Every structure is written in structure tokens, then in C-alpha cells.
Structure 1
Amino acid sequence: MSNITTEDGMDKANTMHRENNTDDLELEAQGYKRAMPRRFSLLSLLSLSFALTASWNGFGSAIGTGLAEFSASGVLWTLIIAATMSWIVSLGMAELSSAYPNSGAQYYWSFRVAAPEWAPFASYVSACVSTAGWWLGNASVANFIAAMILAMVKISIPEYTIHPWHQWLLYTAVLWLAVAINVFGSRFVPLFSKFFLYFSLASLLATIIAILACAAPNFQKASWVFGDTTNSTGWDNKGLLFILCLLNNAYGFMGTDAGAHLAEEIPNPMVNVPKVIVSGSYFPQIPWPFALACLFVTVDVERVIAPPSGLPLIEIYYQATGSKAATIALLAAFALCMFGCATANIAGSSRQIWAASRDNAFPGSRWWSQVSPRFQMPLNAAVLSAVFTMANSTLTKS
């Protein structure tokens, strides 16, 4: 029996070795050599994509703005439109990743599919826009986490006064903790990603059940949830408000390209990366039940649009549960899910910068294209992401 087990293990190892060799040869055909281990599986990369997209968390963090722009029906129906648009774009990226499994993703694809005379320009613009998108996205996530933590403290200690520098310190701490996990826990990032997948799904289900059960039978009218278009902005152009509400909901669907940026860290990327992107494109459907639950338990709309705490989600949870303890518990779960997004963002943004820097796309590319021999990940690129995001917040506050 031990001999059979040993032989099976050797066969599996040999198969993986052959697959890695084939993957490396395909990468070399694109002009690159593998610099990092292929430590992600299909499930762990799908989990990282889910953590980064965080679609139900993205919706919850922006629900107040949508309600102000186009009320409940605008929030609900533009959510479906935004999800459909995200799905279509994701299918296109899945097709490109099957042909060109490269961590540069949009940067590399632009070069390969553009006309020869435009390829360098299109590739460079794509690299800059993608990198800026990663950084700004992480800034919004870290800022929201910091605001939620302070709000929970304020709920627990009413006499506590929140100062801007408190939020900045927490914002900075979130950023660097996400970097630390990616660096010192680089081997365990796939495991962390799977944890965030399961925790986020469990939190979503628990939140929906909790707010509906606690609010029953004091629900908002269905006519308001599905049909009200009242806007609280003072603007009269409903077409523009509809578009703004759509853009607001699109925020929760960013990140379905995450798998493409780690294409060089998963076996058989020509097959597995498209699977991750296509599977991840269905995640945007998840916020709809959460949106319905939030809208049905919203009784005082004005307090959600202009909440005393500054965070509409807090008001929704409190109106539903009537309990500070329950509100804090739900917010804590929400904040942890958002932190999974921040961690995945550092993973994706560092690969984006590293991949583009291999082709000298940025100033200082010699530094950003380095892979740490100890941690086997683009350490310098990860630190750059956090530094820029922190500096951006500092300049904004000043």
C-alpha cells in the first residue's frame, strides 16, 4: 500500500512538473521568464477575485449616494444594468486571457491587439490607467474601512470625538497591514483568499437574515422599493441622475480582472484564468438580494441619505435591528470583508506594476520589476502601491 501511495504521489508531482514546464514555455514564447511560483489553485485564485470584487460590500458602501440620486428603484434597477455591463466586459477579458495569459493583462493585451503604429501608445496608456485605477480603488476601500472602525467606536463610546487625523492613522494602518500580509504571508495569500470567500458569503447571508428578521414586520412599501425615483440632489435632469446612479453602482463591480494579473502564478493559465474571470463575472449578481433587504428595512429614508454618522449603511443596520450591539457586529463583519478587498488589491496592483515594469513602462522600472527572492513576490511594487495611496490621502486631506 505504501508503494502505491508513493507512486501516486510521484505521478502527481511529475504531472505538475510537466504542466509547469509547458506553462513556462508558453510564457517564454511571449518574451518573459517565470519569476514567481505557481502557488495559486483555481479555487484560491477565484477566491482572491471574489475578495477583490467584493460586489455586495461595494454596493453597501455607496448606497446612500444612489438613493440621493435616483431613490430606491434607481438603485435597484441600475444595479442589474451595471452587473450586466460588468459581465460583458469580463467575458471579453476572459477571451483575451485565454490567448495571452500574462500578468500585465490590459497592458499586454493592448499591445498585442492594437494596430502596430498605435500599440506602444495604447499599451502605455493602459498601464497608467490600470495602475491609477488600482491605487484609487484601494484608497476608497481603506478609507471606508477606517471610517467604519471609527463609527463603531463612536457607537460604543458616544462621548468620543472623531478627528480627521484619527481616520488618517487608521487608513494608513489598513494599507500597510494589507501590504504586510502580502509580503510576510505571501505563501498563505491563497489560503487567506479562500477564508475571505467563505467568510464573505457567510456574512452576506447572515446580514440579510438578521436585518430582515429584526425589522419584521416593519418593512418599507414595495411600491417605493421597486418604483420610486425621487431624487434628493436638487437637480432636475433625470437622465443625468440615472447615469450617475448607474456609475455609482458600477463601483461595486470593479476587480473581475484580478485573475488575469496573477496568470503567471497558477498552473495552466490559458484555461484556469478564463475560468476565474468568467466565474467571477457572476459575482456581481450577489448584491441584488442584499440591496432588496437593505431597501425593505429602510424606514427613514432621509436619515439614510444624510446619516448623522456619515455612513448610510450604519443607519440602515440600526433602523433594521434597533440594537447598537447588532449594528456593530454587522459592521465588523462588513469591514473585515472590505479588508479582504484591500489585501487582494495590493496583490493585484503589485503584479500590474511589476509586469509593466518588466518592459520599462514606468520611471524607476528597474526597481519595480524586481521580485523578492525571500518572499517570492514583487515587494517593491507592493510598497509603491501603499506609498502612493497613502501620499494621495495626505495631499487630499491637506
Structure 2
Amino acid sequence: MTGDVSRSDQRLHELGYKSEFKRDMSLFGVLGISFCAIGILTGMSSAFQTGLFSGGPLGLFWGWNICSIFMMLIAMSLAEICSAYPTMGGLYFWVCKMKPDKPMLGCKFTGWVYSIAMTFTGTSGNLSTALYLASMAEVGTGRILTRVEITAIAWGVNIASGILNTIGTKAIGGMSNFYIWWTLAGTVVLVITLLVKAPTHNSAEFVFTDYENFTGWSNRGFVVLLGFLQAVYTLEGCETAAQVAEEAKRAEFLAPMAVMGSIAGSWLIGLIYMLSLLFSVQSIDSVAATAYALPITQLFYDAVGPKLTIVCLTVVCVSQFMAAATAFTASSRLFYALARDNACPAKRQFMALNRFQAPYVGVWTSVLIGCIISCAYIGSAVAFNAILSSAAIAVMLSYVQPITIRVFWPDESLPEKGPFHLGRWSWPVNVASFCFTIFICVLFVLPTAHPTTALNMNYAIVAIGGVILLVGLGWLFWGRFRFVGPVRTAEEERAAAAGAVEQEDEKKR
């Protein structure tokens, strides 16, 4: 095992960085990080109504499998790069390394946008956790909670995520290990509960062919495509394994395996869970008209009754909290990586590690942003959803940066291949991944309801435009004067060591 750590540290030094984190994570831990970030039970539950109302069971089933295939291709593209460059910065560092002549591309369009995306993703997950807790309270008491009460719960969940991440790598690694078993056991509990307790079960014809449309659009193909957003939203996050690459044993092999393995496992588990939901849903109209904080609560309530609904919501809620905490793990590591390369202000603060080896300033910056954004939910759920929808788009935009480089500069962008590489299939896989990411980015900003009004408009285009404007101004007034590319801290370490030796020799003389 010591040899694996030495090889990983050697590769990190070759890339220009000194080793500053303990390599405590095994394959199971790294896989759990990506698996946890995807949050298959939570993404499927929280966004289930999106597909149910846009295409119905037909769109959900076929959209899930089609999107899973393309998300696996994206995972393969990212895994190949991750194997060659197993560093904490992930997407940001890859772009800088593959296109060093365009520092703005790595710093602005990948590093900063992806950091914001991960922070928003954690915020979204923590609010979803609050909504699950609110739904459990509503089922148990019969009283619908106010937005202020739900926001207060979200603040508490954000702070709890910060505390967990402050404890450090071992805590997050242990949680990610636990998450895998919780997801497997939770899936069994949910599937058996739904299939055994549901009063009636739908036919296979309903599950695989029934078409539903609550959007107002008349074009069936477009409506089904809108349902694809549920699958993509659920499956985002496989790249999170790269954010802990410097904390993993033999990262150049384990991290890419985790990137792909998390998508494969999520595809299968998500399919099983989704089919149990479709066979057990009692009334789609009832789900659409629900007063509960989350529509999936109504589906559970109709199918299994109030007591088992709380059990089902508990299974998903715990999963949601762990997934959200992992997003803050990723954002704090991104802040660290950007600070290390002079790509964000307050370098010393963001690079500071506590005794648990956690970059705590990045952790609590994420928590602070999460608490501030959560306040938007008090005024308008539409405004809050727009901010968080922009996170999903920002993740896809971050994916497309390194994949674009691999498509248009295939030979020069990856001169050093890692243990995992696609060989002659590399370029076709990257082309397919590039086309799908562009398609999804466009689909994410289209209006999801017709006729479009101020209350149902998709404001994601406004939110993502605001993010890009903010990042652009940051580059214009600060980044272009400070950032020139990744800093070679390993050379600084060797120079410091050499200086110490010289000083010792001087003393002896």
C-alpha cells in the first residue's frame, strides 16, 4: 500500500504539485464520493415529477436509459483525462494542462464556473434535505410548513454539512463508504415497500408506453425531451472523484474507475427504483395537485400510507444530506486548488488546513453562500429554482470544456496517457459526449411550460448569464493580472529544502 501512495505522490510531483494531504481513501471511498455526489435515490426522488409531468412513464423510462448511455460516454471521456492528470482541481486543472496557452479558459470558464456550480449544487441538496424533513413533518402533523420555516431548516442543514466537512477526509471517506451501503439497502427497502404495500399496481403497458403532458406544449417529441432533464440532473456528479484524487491511494487508477463505476451503478439502481415508482404510482393527477413540500411525498402517501411514507422519506432524506455534504467537499477542494494556482483571492486563507486536513475556509465559504442563497426561497421558489437550475447547466458547461479540447486537439491535448485510456475509441467517444453536452445545455434553458408567464418562465438562462457575467468581471478586473497557469509547488518545496541545506552549511562554516 505504501508503494501505491509513493507512485501517486510521484505522479503528483511530476505534475508540479507537492503532496499536502494524507492518502486515506481506498477505491471504495473514492467510488463512494462520486456515487454520493450523484445521489441516485435523491435525484430520482426530487426530480421525479419533472419527467412524470413531461412525457410521463414513457419519457421517464426511455429518457433514463438514453441519458444514462450518454452520461456513461461523458464519464469515459472524463475518466481518461483524470487518469492522466489525477489532481484535486479536476476539470479546472485538466483544461489548464491541456490548453496552457489559454489561461482564461481554465481559470474563468472552468475553474470559477465549476466552483460556483458545486457550491450551488450543495445549496440545492441542503434545501432538498430541508424539504424532505418538512414533508415528514407535514405527513406526521398534517400542517403545511411555511417557506420561512423550511428556510430555517435549510440553514441548519447547511451548517451541519459544514461541520461534517470540517472534520476532514476520514469523516467524508467514512460517510461515502456508508453511503454506498445505505443506498443499496435503502433501494431494497423502497422497492419492496412500494411493490408490496401499493393497493394497486400499474400494467407494463402503462409503465413503458403511457404518455403524460402537464406542460401545455403540444409537440410530443419536445415534451419527452423536456423529461430528459430529470435523468441528466440525477446523473450529474461522477467527476467528483477527481476532487479527492490527492487524498486517494493510487489515484491515477482508482479515480477514473470511480468516475465510470458511479455512473454504471447509478444507472442500474436508478432504473430499479424508477420502475418500482412507476408500477406503484396510484394517481398522477394527485401527485400534480399535492400540497406537500415535495411531490414524491404524495406518491408515497397514496401508495403506502402515512407511516411508511415517513420511513421512505427518511431513507431518501439521509441520502440527500450525504450527497449535499459531498458537493461542499468538492467546492472546498476547488477553492483550495484555485488558490494554490493564484486563481482566486485570499490564497493563504483558502489553502489553510486544520488538524483534520480539511480546507476549512472553503468549506465555510460554501456554507455561507448556501445560507444566503437559501433566503431566496422565502421570497420566491421560482427565483430559487432558477439559481439552482443554473448549477446543473454550469456543471454541463464545465464538462464541455475539457471534452471540447479533446475533440478539436486530440493529439496535443493528452500527450501523457494514464493507466486508463480509450485508445482508438477516444475521439468518437469524445465527439458523442461533446454533442450531448451541447444539446443538454440548450435544452436546460428552454421554457418548460406553455403559455409562458412570469410565474412559470424558465429563468435558468438569466441565472447562468449572471454567473458568467460575474465570473467574466472577476477575470477582467482581477484574474488576468494574477493567473498565468498552474503553480509548480513541488519546485517551491525542493527550492525551500535546498535553501535550508545551504543555511545549515553556512552555520557549520
TM over 0.5: yes
Instruction: Please state if 1:135 is matched with 2:109.
Output: no
Match of 2:281 among 291, 294, 298: 298
| Deviation digits for residues 48-107 of structure 1 (CA, Å, limit 9, x no counterpart) | 221111123201111112111111111111011121121111111110011001110100
* CA deviation after TM superposition for structure 1 residue 185, in Å: 5.5
Mapped to 1, the partners of 2:118 and 2:371 lie a distance apart of 13
Mapped to 2, the partners of 1:395 and 1:207 lie a distance apart of 32
Match of 1:176 among 143, 159, 166: 159
* CA deviation after TM superposition for structure 1 residue 46, in Å: 1.1
> Identity of paired residues, percent?
25
* CA deviation after TM superposition for structure 1 residue 284, in Å: 2.7
Tell me if structure 2 keeps the 8 A contact 1:70–1:230.
Answer: yes
Q: How does 1:1-398 map to 2 (within 5 A)?
A: 16=2, 18-114=3-99, 116-158=100-142, 160-184=143-167, 186-215=169-198, 218-285=200-267, 286-321=269-304, 323-372=305-354, 374-398=355-379
Q: 1:231–1:389: structure 2 CA closer, same or farther, 3 Å change rule?
A: same
**Paired residue type of 1:183:** T
**Paired residue type of 1:385:** S
Tell me if structure 2 keeps the 8 A contact 1:35–1:371.
Answer: no
* CA deviation after TM superposition for structure 1 residue 397, in Å: 3.2
Query: What stretches of structure 1 of length at least 5 have no aligned partner?
Result: 1-14
Mapped to 1, the partners of 2:78 and 2:102 lie a distance apart of 20
Give RMSD over aligned pairs.
1.7
Tell me the secondary structure at the aligned position of residue 18 of structure 2: coil
Mapped to 2, the partners of 1:85 and 1:384 lie a distance apart of 33
Tell me the secondary structure at the aligned position of residue 375 of structure 2: helix
Mapped to 2, the partners of 1:298 and 1:19 lie a distance apart of 49
Mapped to 1, the partners of 2:190 and 2:326 lie a distance apart of 23
Q: 1:84–1:56: structure 2 CA closer, same or farther, 3 Å change rule?
A: farther
Mapped to 1, the partners of 2:167 and 2:111 lie a distance apart of 27
Tell me if structure 2 keeps the 8 A contact 1:107–1:124.
Answer: no
Mapped to 1, the partners of 2:365 and 2:137 lie a distance apart of 31
Moved more, 119-128 or 96-105: 119-128
* CA deviation after TM superposition for structure 1 residue 146, in Å: 0.6
* CA deviation after TM superposition for structure 1 residue 194, in Å: 1.2
**Paired residue type of 1:278:** M
* CA deviation after TM superposition for structure 1 residue 183, in Å: 1.2
Mapped to 2, the partners of 1:93 and 1:385 lie a distance apart of 25
- Corresponding residue pairs, total: 378
**Paired residue type of 2:164:** I
Query: What stretches of structure 2 of length at least 5 have no aligned partner?
Result: 380-509
* CA deviation after TM superposition for structure 1 residue 242, in Å: 2.5
Tell me the secondary structure at the aligned position of residue 218 of structure 2: coil
